[in-house]
Amino acid sequence: MKRENQDRENQAIVLALLRSQQMFMRAMGPTFRDGGLTAPQWDALEVLSHKGALSINDLMHFTLSTSGSLDVVLQNLIQAGWVEKSVNEFDKRARVLRLTPAGREKVADFLPVHNRALDRVFEKLSAHDKRTTISKLNQFRKKLSQARKD
């Protein structure tokens, strides 16, 4: 019976995480669409905005993307004129991604809209609930990371 309970709890965690992510994306979807972005595009723009120029591999690491999905996102961001790709001056085989001036402007314009949408999504959570959720999710992520290394 103990194994059965453990299986149910494990499945409940997975469903709770997946459904929470789906509900979050459903709530944020209109904000991204109205801003002319997808969530993965915003993720890439935000990372480049905070981290500065990055290699494709580093951006893939920070956004938790796969090379295939990131390639499509980058093509669209480059085509929109928000990101540029250039040759790494230290390793001519590598490429570096950075925001263009238009990309910096897009981030500056969209960030307040994004923050207002987040305020609406999380308005019913207290500051304590937010901190507790962040702490628990960070603990969970660290344990997942350690499990992958074992």
Write the pLDDT tens digit of every residue in 2-45: 888 889 999 999 999 999 999 999 999 999 999 999 999 999 99
Q: How many CB atoms lie within 10 A of CB 8?
A: 10
Total-model pTM: 0.86
Query: Domains (ranges, CATH) in the chain?
Result: 2-149 (1.10.10.10)
Return the bridge partners of 70, or none.
none
